[in-house]
């Protein structure tokens, strides 16, 4: 059974992951509108990943006998200044999610919830990968100043990304 503080923190994370998914879907729509189907695809895959993360937290809460609480999700931005702006905002958001995950680990340690600590390890590792992937795209965009032939080559590369449910093998 999940204790109150841990349950509250996990429920907040479910909602944060749902917000993340819709933020990335919004970014995907904006990028598609700007004629960048590869970037739009990359963000759409991010949307799918974040929904699986929300679902993984949801299933964990239920499996541990807790009550999952789904709250209203704040309006996410729908307009952006540039492709670089989108990717910079993505990096900042991923860093925010990393901080939330780290806070969850702190609560699990404080509550001596060993099952939650074990469960959260996957997310700690996932966030390292998420931030590194976004940083790599941002670095490339900055090298090409977010324009010219370079952006079209990067767009073509990002079009190749496909969704793989990395939570499937570890779903609770």
Tokens 């570890």, residue located:
170
- Per the structure, the complete domain to which residue 70 belongs is given by 4-162
The pTM (predicted TM-score) of the whole model is 0.91
Across the chain, mean pLDDT equals: 94
In a domain, 168, yes or no: no
Indicate the number of domains in the chain.
Answer: 1
Q: Give residue 169's pLDDT.
A: 62
Asked if the model's pLDDT at residue 3 lies above 90, the reply is no
Q: How far apart are CA 109 and CA 98, in angstroms?
A: 17
In a domain, 115, yes or no: yes
């Amino acid at each position: 059974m999940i204790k109150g503080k841990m349950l509250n923190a996990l429920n907040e994370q479910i909602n944060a992951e749902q917000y993340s998914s819709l933020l990335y879907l919004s970014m995907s729509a904006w990028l598609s509108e700007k004629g960048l189907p590869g970037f739009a695809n990359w963000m759409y895959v991010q949307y799918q990943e974040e929904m699986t993360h929300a679902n993984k937290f949801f299933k964990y809460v239920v499996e541990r006998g807790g009550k999952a609480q789904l709250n209203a999700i704040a309006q996410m931005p729908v307009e952006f200044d540039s492709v670089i702006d989108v990717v910079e905002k993505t990096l900042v958001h991923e860093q925010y999610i990393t901080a939330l995950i780290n806070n969850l680990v702190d609560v699990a340690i404080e509550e001596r919830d060993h099952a939650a600590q074990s469960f959260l390890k996957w997310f700690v590792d996932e966030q390292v990968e998420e931030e590194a992937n976004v940083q790599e795209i941002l670095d490339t965009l900055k090298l090409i100043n977010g324009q010219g032939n370079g952006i079209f080559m990067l767009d073509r590369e990002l079009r190749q990304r496909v969704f793989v449910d990395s939570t499937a093998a570890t779903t609770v």
